Amino acid sequence: MSQSYDVIVIGAGHNGLTTAALLGKRGRKVLVLERREHVGGLAAGEEFHSGYRTAGVLHDTHRVRRWVVEELGLGRHGLEFRPDLPPVFLPERDGEGLVLDRDPEKATAEISRRSEKDAGQYREYCAFLQRISPTIRSLSDRQPPDIFDPGLGDLFGLGKAALSLRLLGKKDMMEVLRVTPMCVADWLNEWFENDLLKAGLAAPGLEGCFAGPWSSGTVTNLLWMESIVAQSIAGGPAALVEALEKAALANGVEIRCGAAVEAIDLDDGTVSGVTLSGGERLEAKKLAASCDPRHLFLDLLSSSALSITLDRNISTFRARGTTAKVNLALSGPPHFSCRPDLKAERIRIGETIDDLERAFDPVKYRRFADKPTLDILVPTVEMPELAPAGHHVLSIQVNCAPYELESSWTQISRDELYRTVVERLTEYAPGIGDVIVGHQVLTPLDLETTYGVSSGHLFHGEHATDQLAVRPTPECAGYRTPFDGLFLCGSGSHPGGGITCAPGALAARTILGS
């Protein structure tokens, strides 16, 4: 006889654990099924070279929602926020680079050395983001309305969102409406004159996108991503995952690792349970899937169960992975020639808007860039325990590397990507190759194979304007699906990807209210 649960959560990434912990807190009998041998998904820290651990494939925690942390009481399980967000170091080959702090007062001296005008503009830029952030956060932290059959709550939410936009004032409201269709290159050119500063500020607008800085609509993603930045988690993604797991277990949740779901079982369009890869069947009244939407609907459900419209909408939901991950084990700290004594924790390599565009351009033709832009975290600055004493780890997100490589991803092409990354890094940190004692390369194809993300997309789907407004499809925009009892709770649903806990928490509210 099969076991029965109130809710089965598919996937023990940070969103799946968030959903499970909140449901367990409300007395539901919850089981989490994870195909891998440990929890955490893309946020899991793992050993990649003997004695060296990663910070997670996704290594930034500065968008984790504080209200989720408080609602789950994660502080009781050891979770703490860092007091300040580390600045971003923007190195350059000729010059001294730029240490960019989010606090405009701290950044003024740095920017002034390059441009007095830009220093003043940066204060205005930050002030604009601060004014509009509450409105954008309110949209991202609210369950999306039912667009097919809106109730009073949905209509109230839409009205409140419209009012919050209007309360920005006419000037800011019109500016938001004006700039959201723009490309980040044009918008930042309106604000600033220094190329390095513009490139550093543009980077968040390209996260999760199949786009370069000259692509229209990238300002929408920039505003979306920058408006939800808060404080980082002390201990990084691993600390968050550990606290979520403890909270889930404390709330009575059962977690099974090494348990891959092979199929979702339906009874006349209603969820009845799941079948595992070994044939075991588990019953549940409801299922919450933190896996990506394409995997859920195209792999775990019978094709005959999908309507023609749903099949088309899911099949055309864009999730083209463009980010590879390279982890480096170093016998000493990295030294950047423009500031050899700086102990930088966060680094972005890409000096101009055109550098970012040239890095993206080859992806359209299924090639990776010979001079990729690099988003680097040195987690051992905060967490020296990730490496032997005096040694370091570099966690590098490589933009842009296509999922569908023209020559296919082989060991030869992986080695070529690794050499390209090291050569690019050496331009700014000469001698870096002398301290590399080990490395790991994860292409988008490897990310799909290892972590189960379709097409290797780290956000479970692109952050394009249309796919943020309705995510992932009109039928599933509010976590519910056309199948009674089946819900979404991962990054492929509202409000999108990254380590935030928001999709998991908002989905839990929807499930509890169903």
Model confidence over 65-99: pLDDT tens digits? 999 999 999 999 999 999 999 999 999 999 999 99
Structure token digits, residue 95: 């010059």
Sign of the four-CA dihedral 304, 308, 311, 315: positive
**What pLDDT is stored for residue 394 in this prediction?**
98
Q: How far apart are CA 211 and CA 282, in angstroms?
A: 42
How large is the average pLDDT for residues 168-179?
Answer: 89
**What pLDDT is stored for residue 1 in this prediction?**
42
Residue 152 · residue 190 · CB < 8 Å: no
Residue 483 · residue 266 · CB < 8 Å: yes
How large is the average pLDDT for residues 357-386?
Answer: 97
Helix (H) or strand (E) holding 330: strand 323-330
Residue whose tokens read 């989490």: 32
Residue 304 CB partners (closer than 8 Å, separation 6+): none
pLDDT tens figures, 410-452: 999 999 999 999 999 999 999 999 999 999 999 999 999 999 9
Helix (H) or strand (E) holding 122: helix 116-140
- How big is the CA angle at 225 (ends 160 and 135), to the nearest 5 degrees? 20
**What pLDDT is stored for residue 512 in this prediction?**
97
Is residue 41 scored above 90 in pLDDT?
Answer: yes
Q: Cα 83 to chain center, whole Å?
A: 22
DSSP β-ladder status, 30-34 and 254-257: parallel
344 sits in the region (left: phi over 0; alpha: psi -120 to 50; else beta) called: beta
DSSP code at position 143: P
DSSP β-ladder status, 3-10 and 281-289: parallel
**Residue 327, beta-bridge partner list:** 395, 440
Closest among 274, 257, 264, 266 to 299, alpha carbons compared = 264
Q: How far apart are CA 212 and CA 214, in angstroms?
A: 5
Closest among 425, 344, 430 to 392, alpha carbons compared = 344
Q: How far apart are CA 442 and CA 504, in angstroms?
A: 26
pLDDT tens figures, 263-305: 999 999 999 999 999 999 999 999 999 999 999 999 999 999 9
CA of 107: how far to CAs of 158, 220, 227, 513, in Å? Answer: 37, 24, 18, 45
Q: How far apart are CA 332 and CA 433, in angstroms?
A: 11
Share of the chain residues as helix, strand and coil, in percent rounded to the nearest 5 = 40, 20, 40
Q: How far apart are CA 314 and CA 413, in angstroms?
A: 30
Closest among 471, 318, 472, 301 to 403, alpha carbons compared = 318
Structure token digits, residue 254: 């059962």
Sign of the four-CA dihedral 448, 453, 458, 463: positive
Residue 85 CB partners (closer than 8 Å, separation 6+): 62, 102, 229, 230, 231, 232
The number of residues in the chain equals 514
DSSP code at position 34: E
The proportion of the chain whose per-residue pLDDT surpasses 90, expressed as a percent, equals 93
Residue 320 · residue 457 · CB < 8 Å: yes
Is residue 124 scored above 60 in pLDDT?
Answer: yes
Is residue 380 scored above 60 in pLDDT?
Answer: yes
Q: How far apart are CA 510 and CA 19, in angstroms?
A: 10
Is residue 163 scored above 80 in pLDDT?
Answer: no
Residue 491 CB partners (closer than 8 Å, separation 6+): 15, 292, 459, 460, 461, 497, 498, 503
DSSP code at position 339: B
Closest among 489, 20, 8, 507 to 252, alpha carbons compared = 20
How large is the average pLDDT for residues 47-55?
Answer: 96
pTM: 0.95
Q: How far apart are CA 132 and CA 224, in angstroms?
A: 10
pLDDT tens figures, 323-359: 999 999 999 999 999 999 999 999 999 999 999 999 9
Q: How far apart are CA 415 and CA 302, in angstroms?
A: 38
How large is the average pLDDT for residues 196-220?
Answer: 97
**What pLDDT is stored for residue 157 in this prediction?**
53
Model confidence band, residue 149 (pLDDT cutoffs 50, 70, 90): low
Residue 254 CB burial class (10 angstroms; 0-12, 13-18, ≥19) = middle
Give backbone dihedrals phi and psi of 21, rounded to 5 degrees, phi first: -65, -40
